[in-house]
A and B are shown apart, each in its own frame.
Chain A
Amino acid sequence: MGMHFHRFEKIWLIFGMVSLIVFLSIVGVSAFAMDQHPSGGMDTIDPEKVEETPPFDDPGVRQIDEDTYEVVMIAMAFGYEPSQIEVPAGKEIVFKVTSTDVTHSFTIVDTKVNMMVIPGQINEKRYTFDEPGEYLVLCNEYCGAGHHVMSTTIKVVE
């Protein structure tokens, strides 16, 4: 004697399963075929030796090639180093961030750059600024008494 499903139950189950397949397909295709995935990288670093370990021994902006710039930043309570950076619009910017103390985040407002900054790990995110201007960077991960003032700006120029 098999299980009996009411007709409406079948309709609802099919709707739910199709929705799930659609969501997983969209996310799967965008992750593997279009290279859109959460910021990542499995690189690790000794959090007590950040300032003497390359590339964090010289944080800042450096050009990798004609269309790519690397921005190396250190997050700490309660700011980012370097505090002032300037990058060009229309070029791919590779952000590499780590922390020397507690967990922070590196979030550029109104962009999809939003990543955790964890001591002992190097997180990386690639982004291209289409428009020049000043972009606010905030810490979205509670890190202590000064968390609410932890911010910096990125100046994007032509």
Chain B
Amino acid sequence: MGKKKNEENLKGTLVSVFLVGFIILIMWFGAYGLYLSR
């Protein structure tokens, strides 16, 4: 049960870091797209 609680806590962490990661991806491709368009 303790292990399951830890798993749930880590799920929240994983979602958060993936959110940050996707924002980074979007910003990267956005900046690259701007560069290509100019």
A147 to B32, CA, bound (A): 29
Interface string of B2-38 (1 = CB under 8 A from A): 0000000011011001100100110010001001001
Contact B14 A12 (CB under 8 A): yes
Docked complex Cα distance between A112 and B28 (Å): 16
Inter-chain contacts of A111 with B (CB < 8 A): 38
Are A23 and B17 in contact (CB-based, < 8 A)?
A: no
Task: Count B-side interface residues using an 8 Å CB cutoff.
Answer: 13
B28–A23 touching, CB < 8 Å: yes
Q: How far is the CA of A6 from the CA of B3 in the complex (A)?
A: 12
* Separation of A23 and B10 alpha carbons in the complex (Å): 27
Give the contacting residue for A11; candidates B14, B24, B28, B38; CB below 8 A. Answer: B14
- A61 and B18 CA atoms in complex are apart in Å by 51
> Which chain A positions have C-beta within 8 A of B32?
26
A8 within 8 Å of B by Cβ?
Answer: yes
Chain B residues with CB below 8 A from A12, complex form: 14, 17-18, 21
Interface residues, chain B, with chain A CB atoms under 8 Å away:
10-11, 13-14, 17-18, 21, 24-25, 28, 32, 35, 38
